[in-house]
């Protein structure tokens, strides 16, 4: 007889607990061939991992699936990270997956990928959290090894480009088991120096193992929490570490990191020269403006001078007088010409024979104009009688009617 | 339309005498801007010009004589001038 009768449900729950409490099964990397991949409408991905001896059901929930660089592919040899549990509903043991990594990659790379995803989810890579570097830093903190070319190169770059700055080394091991803790301590200490306004975290090129400290989670979180902007200059251009993603700025090499932190003294010199040119130009402009203003005032003054005006007005006056006299003499000439013309006219009428026939024309004594009516003449008037061969001046005795 | 010299001569002269490169550089920029704005009495224009030239010379002097200051943090947190290779690096 059984000692105790256990319902299936209770047993399933118990098995599940046992599985979930086991430390190995709670955090495990499993390798096998993928088959039976099924993508549900919910977004969850169900598949099987198998080898020649066994097979294991796996599920990759939608949230985790979204973070993967690649999804499980049938026939592909794959490493899957997750935890083992029992799904009571169908009594199946399953691997609840959170990282999918096609095979052919070492364990280091697998752990790297796992950490990368976790830190990304925690927001350590968030672009909006990245800070701008100060344009003219006062002091640069450098966290790197005191030995080797890196510290040397950084100093050279700074000396050449921007000797105005101060640079402070926080020396530390950059590889080996003790490196992560040492780097964290150095980062902590360099931030404490108030005048430091930017930090460079650097190391030279090396193998993946050599760079391991820069993939350390604690170091990454220290970099994220740094008081001032931090520039990562790790290894060569193609080397990417977790720290490269977390830093405010990533440089391809340590020397490049130093360059990015400071302005170039050559540019500063150019700006000073430019300022000098502008100041000279501005002064020349000011001088010409003042000169023009002065000349204008002088000109206006000359034009307003009273003696000048007097001479000008006298001149105008004399011109006017001359013109007036000219006009008067012209008028006289025209009148005389008029008179002569009329006298001429009179004589010109002669061919019509009036005077030749013995008639005389009575004219005004002064104007010479013919008097055409007796009503125009009064007794006592002096008139001129014009004959064909001469004229007679006569006094009027009487008129009729 | 001649405006009075509405600029901070005091600040600029101080920058020239005892300012850092940044102070001198900022003062020079301010002098240039004011001079370019125009509408100054001629004497004030000359004043600004001269000050500008001297600031530019001072700025160049600072750059020419600058030497990179290198120091090192020891595990106790003190900065040490110069760099002695034998000193201990950080460790846990």
Per residue in A124-164, pLDDT (tens digit) is 999 999 999 999 999 999 999 999 899 999 999 999 999 99
More confident residue, A18 or A290: A18
- Residue numbers of A between 180 and 199 with CB closer than 8 Å to B: 181-183, 185-186, 189-190, 192-193
Sorted by sequence, the CB contacts under 8 Å of residue A144 that are 6+ apart come out as: A150, A151, A154, A169, A171, A172, A174, A200, A201, A202, A203, A254
For A260-281, the pLDDT digits (tens) are 999 999 999 999 999 999 999 9
Chain segment A384-395, per-residue pLDDT in tens:
888 888 889 999
Contact A282 B35 (CB under 8 A): yes
- When mean pLDDT is compared across A103-107, A333-337, B31-35, B52-56, the lowest value belongs to A103-107
Is the predicted pLDDT of residue B90 greater than 80, yes or no?
A: no
- Model confidence at A1, pLDDT cuts 50, 70, 90, reads low
Token pair, residue A175, equals 């590889």
| Interchain contact, A272 vs B25, CB within 8 Å | yes
pLDDT interval class at A239 (50, 70, 90): confident
Local confidence band at A326 (pLDDT 50, 70, 90 cut-offs): confident
Q: Which of A170, A280, A282 is nearest residue B73 as measured by Cβ atoms?
A: A170
- Smallest Cβ–Cβ distance between A166 and the set B48, B49, B71 belongs to B71
Q: Residue B71 above 70 pLDDT?
A: yes
* Percent of chain A predicted with pLDDT > 90: 58
pLDDT above 70 covers a percentage of chain A that reads 96
Smallest CA–CA distance, residue A214 to chain B, in Å, is: 16
What per-residue confidence (pLDDT) applies to B1?
Answer: 46
Rounded to whole angstroms, how far apart are CA atoms A46 and A59?
5
Chain A stretch 288-307, residues whose beta carbon is closer than 8 A to a beta carbon of chain B: 289-290
A100 has pLDDT over 50:
yes
Q: What is the pLDDT of residue B83?
A: 62
Average pLDDT for chain A: 89
The answer, yes or no, to whether residue A372 has pLDDT greater than 90, is no
Shortest distance, CA A182 to any CA of chain B (angstroms) = 4
pLDDT score at B40? 83
As a whole-number percent, the residues of chain B with pLDDT over 90 amount to: 41
Q: How far off is chain A from B55, nearest CA to CA, in Å?
A: 9
Instruction: Assess whether pLDDT exceeds 60 at residue B87.
Output: no
pLDDT of amino acid A391: 86
Mean pLDDT, residues B40-60 taken together: 90
pLDDT above 70 for A180:
yes
What domains, with CATH codes, occur in chain A?
8-121 (2.40.50.140), 137-263 (3.40.50.10550), 354-395 (no CATH)
State yes or no: pLDDT of A114 exceeds 60.
yes
A89-93, A245-249, A290-294, A318-322: which has the highest mean pLDDT?
A: A245-249
Query: Which chain A residue has its CA at the smallest distance from B40's CA?
Result: A286
How does pLDDT run across A15-43, given as a tens digit for each residue? Answer: 999 999 999 999 999 999 999 999 999 99
Band of pLDDT at residue B4, cut at 50, 70 and 90: low
Tell me phi and psi for residue A39, to 5 degrees: -100, 105
pLDDT band at residue A105 using 50, 70 and 90 as cut-offs: low
- Whether A272 and B59 lie within 8 Å, measured CB to CB: yes
**From the list A163, A169, A271, which residue is nearest B72 (CB)?**
A169
pLDDT tier at A342, thresholds 50, 70, 90: confident
pTM: 0.61
Q: What tens digit of pLDDT does each residue of A34-77 get? A: 999 999 999 999 999 998 899 999 999 999 998 888 889 888 88
Measure B4 CA to nearest chain A CA, in Å. 15
Indicate if the pLDDT at residue B78 is higher than 80. no
pLDDT of A299-313, one tens digit each? 888 877 777 778 888
Measured between beta carbons, the chain A residues lying within 8 angstroms of B91 are 172-173, 178, 181-182, 185
Q: Which positions in chain B touch A216 (Cβ < 8 Å)?
A: none
């Amino acid at each position: 007889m059984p000692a105790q009768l256990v319902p299936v449900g209770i047993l399933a729950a118990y098995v599940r607990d046992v599985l979930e409490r086991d430390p190995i099964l709670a955090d495990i990397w499993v390798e096998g061939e993928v088959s039976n991949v099924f993508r549900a409408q919910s977004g969850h991905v169900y598949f099987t991992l198998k080898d020649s001896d066994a097979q294991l059901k796996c599920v990759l929930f939608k949230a985790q699936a979204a973070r993967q660089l690649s999804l499980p592919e049938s026939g592909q040899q794959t490493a899957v990270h997750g935890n083992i549990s029992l799904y009571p509903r169908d009594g199946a043991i399953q691997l609840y997956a959170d990282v999918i990594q096609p095979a052919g990659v070492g364990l280091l790379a697998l752990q790297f990928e796992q950490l990368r995803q976790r830190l990304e989810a925690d927001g350590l890579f968030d672009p909006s959290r990245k800070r701008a570097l100060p344009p003219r830093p006062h002091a640069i903190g450098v966290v790197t090894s005191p030995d080797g070319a890196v510290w040397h190169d950084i100093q050279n770059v700074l000396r050449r480009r921007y000797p105005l700055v101060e640079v402070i080394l926080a020396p530390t091991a950059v590889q080996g088991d003790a490196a992560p803790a040492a780097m964290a301590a150095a980062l902590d200490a360099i931030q404490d120096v108030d005048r430091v306004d930017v930090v460079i975290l650097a190391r030279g090129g090396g193998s993946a193992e050599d760079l391991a400290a820069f993939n350390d989670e604690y170091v990454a979180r220290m970099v994220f929490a740094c008081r001032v902007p931090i520039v990562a200059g790790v290894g060569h251009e193609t080397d990417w570490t977790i720290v490269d993603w977390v830093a405010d700025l990533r440089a391809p090499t340590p020397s490049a990191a130093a360059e990015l932190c400071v302005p170039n003294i050559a540019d500063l010199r150019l700006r000073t020269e430019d300022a000098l040119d502008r100041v000279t130009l501005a002064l020349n402009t000011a001088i010409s403006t003042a000169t023009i203003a002065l000349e204008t005032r002088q000109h206006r003054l000359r034009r307003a001078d009273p003696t000048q005006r007097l001479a000008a007005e006298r001149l105008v006056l004399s011109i006017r007088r001359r013109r007036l006299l000219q006009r008067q003499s012209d008028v006289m000439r025209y009148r005389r010409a008029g008179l002569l013309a009329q006298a001429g006219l009179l004589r010109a009428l002669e061919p019509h024979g009036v005077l030749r026939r013995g008639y005389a024309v009575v004219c005004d004594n002064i104007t010479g104009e013919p008097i055409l009516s007796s009503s125009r003449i009064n007794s006592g008037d002096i008139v001129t009688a014009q004959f064909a061969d001469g004229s007679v001046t006569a006094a009027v005795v009487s008129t009729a009617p | 339309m001649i405006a009075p010299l509405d600029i901070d001569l005091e600040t600029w002269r101080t920058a020239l005498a005892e300012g850092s490169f940044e102070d001198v550089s900022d003062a020079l920029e301010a002098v240039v801007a004011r001079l370019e704005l125009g509408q100054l009495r001629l004497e004030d224009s000359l004043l600004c010009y001269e000050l500008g030239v001297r600031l530019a010379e001072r700025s160049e002097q600072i750059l020419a004589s600058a030497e990179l200051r290198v120091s090192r943090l020891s595990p106790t947190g003190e900065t040490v001038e110069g760099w002695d290779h034998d000193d201990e690096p950080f460790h846990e």
